[in-house]
């Protein structure tokens, strides 16, 4: 099967701008672990398309999504990625101040300001919701709720809704976070997560843990909805084969030696393992650049154990991530060629579904 997509899909700033306004600014995007914005006054800055958004926990514990845009003359209010605010958000330029709920509080010489309605001075609100222990935001006020975006993807992948709940992601804690600056288009990275044809060549270490990956089918592109079983000598998903922690408390027996994964388009990928979960979230930066953040999530009882050490487990998926991202960067280089005409064998059929999803998202926004 060949694709109608040419290399410009991955290299063109114009196409990236269309994707920003019609996909990233219209879909629910996974942007931060909720525990990083837990304390009153804490904030996290997310970058989506052309917008910068502050996720702020106000002093009553309510999570707020606010455009990071001063209502005076548009200065960016916070440039740090995360931190703690005082009682207000104060613009460094002329000193306009906003409460943590986004409401305008004061400005120097406020009596001179035009008599606009008060809401014109408040920071612009952004829809947020919490799911799986993550904060998801949506820059569109008219997009359907998060469940409408995610349920079809979960159903298609697992064929049953309860699998994800066994991993109790909202109760887990972050043992380690790694950020990867990938010189590749966001779609090349997700296409890589749509197939396991590359696993025998690119991931010898991963394929040693998951023998079914040596077939090039894996669990994503193959018919194996029940997940990939660990090799007989592996007790856990790690370089040594030892488990880093006991199995998660609500996990069914059939998943105690099993690898599952699911892509939650457009910007999250979950790897579900017996004793931990890894969530990768993509922040598309430019047509040829994507920042990927991976969180290794464990049960709090496991991380509290005096001998807890996630390094052995982290090493295996970190190595796999690096292999995947290097391959995506190679494809990014190839996408510049006029002779870039990709071919997708049947075991890469999920890529066709992904392309269809992207095309539909772009077209749907054109109609509105
Ligand atoms: S731009 Fe923020 S106070 Fe002037
Ligand atoms: Fe891979």
Q: Which atom of ligand 1 is nearest to the CA of 77?
A: 2
pLDDT of amino acid 136: 98
For residue 77, pLDDT beyond 60 = yes
Structure tokens at 286: 């430019």
The topology under which CATH files domain 38-142 is Rieske Iron-sulfur Protein (2.102.10)
> Is the CB of residue 156 below 6 angstroms from any atom belonging to ligand 1?
no
What pLDDT score does 159 carry?
80
Taking CA atoms, 368 is separated from 20, 139, 141, in Å, by 16, 16, 13
Q: In the predicted model, what is the mean pLDDT of residues 143-166?
A: 88
Q: State if residue 108 touches ligand 1 by the CB under 6 angstroms criterion.
A: no
**Ligand 1 pocket, mutate which of 91, 104, 106, 107 (most atoms under 8 A from CB):** 91
**Cα 202 to averaged position of ligand 2 atoms, centre (Å):** 7
Tell me which CATH code domain 147-367 carries: 3.90.380.10
The tens digit of pLDDT for each residue in 160-194 reads 667 899 999 999 999 999 999 999 999 999 999 99
CA distance readout (Å), 127 to 25, 54, 66, 135, 205: 11, 11, 9, 10, 41
Residue ranges per structural domain of the chain: 38-142, 147-367
Q: Tell me which residues have their CB within 5 A of the ion that is ligand 2.
A: 324
* Residues sharing a CB contact under 8 Å with residue 351, sequence separation 6 or more, in sequence order: 3, 191, 194, 195, 344
Q: Of 94-98, 153-157, 259-263, 336-340, which gets the smallest average pLDDT?
A: 153-157
Calculate how far, in angstroms, residue 188's C-alpha sits from the geometric centre of ligand 2.
12
What per-residue confidence (pLDDT) applies to 368? 45
Residue-wise pLDDT for 268-313, tens only, equals: 999 999 999 999 999 999 999 999 999 999 999 999 999 999 999 9
């Amino acid at each position: 099967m060949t694709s109608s997509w040419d290399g410009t899909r991955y290299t063109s700033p114009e196409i990236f701008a269309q994707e920003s306004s019609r996909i990233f600014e219209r879909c629910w995007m996974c942007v931060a672990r909720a525990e990083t914005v837990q304390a009153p006054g804490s904030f996290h800055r997310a970058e989506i398309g052309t917008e910068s958004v502050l996720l702020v926990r106000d002093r009553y514990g309510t999570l707020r999504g606010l455009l990071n845009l001063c209502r005076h003359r548009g200065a960016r209010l916070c440039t740090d990625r995360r931190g703690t605010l005082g009682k207000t958000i104060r613009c460094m330029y002329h000193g306009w101040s906003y409460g943590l709920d986004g409401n305008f509080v004061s400005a120097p010489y406020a009596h001179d300001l035009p008599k606009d309605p008060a809401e014109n001075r408040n920071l612009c609100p952004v829809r947020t919701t919490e799911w799986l222990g993550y904060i998801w935001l949506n820059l569109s006020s008219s997009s359907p709720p998060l469940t409408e975006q995610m349920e079809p993807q979960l159903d298609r992948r697992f064929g049953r809704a309860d699998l994800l709940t066994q991993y109790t992601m909202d109760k887990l804690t972050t043992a380690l976070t790694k950020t990867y600056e990938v010189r590749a288009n966001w779609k090349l990275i997700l296409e890589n997560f749509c197939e396991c044809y590359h696993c025998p060549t690119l991931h010898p270490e991963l394929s040693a843990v998951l023998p079914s990956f040596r077939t090039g089918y894996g669990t994503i592109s193959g018919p194996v909805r029940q997940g990939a079983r660990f090799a007989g000598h592996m007790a856990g998903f790690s370089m040594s084969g030892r488990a880093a922690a006991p199995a998660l408390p609500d996990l069914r027996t059939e998943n105690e030696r099993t690898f599952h994964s699911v892509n939650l388009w457009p910007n999250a990928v979950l790897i579900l393992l017996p004793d931990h979960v890894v969530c990768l979230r993509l922040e598309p930066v430019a047509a040829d650049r994507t920042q990927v953040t991976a969180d290794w999530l464990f049960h709090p009882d496991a991380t509290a154990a005096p001998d807890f050490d996630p390094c052995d487990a982290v090493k295996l998926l970190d190595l796999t991530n690096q292999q995947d991202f290097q391959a995506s960067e190679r494809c990014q280089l190839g996408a510049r060629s006029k002779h870039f005409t990709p071919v997708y064998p049947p075991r890469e059929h999920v890529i066709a579904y992904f392309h269809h999803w992207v095309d539909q998202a772009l077209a749907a926004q054109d109609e509105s």
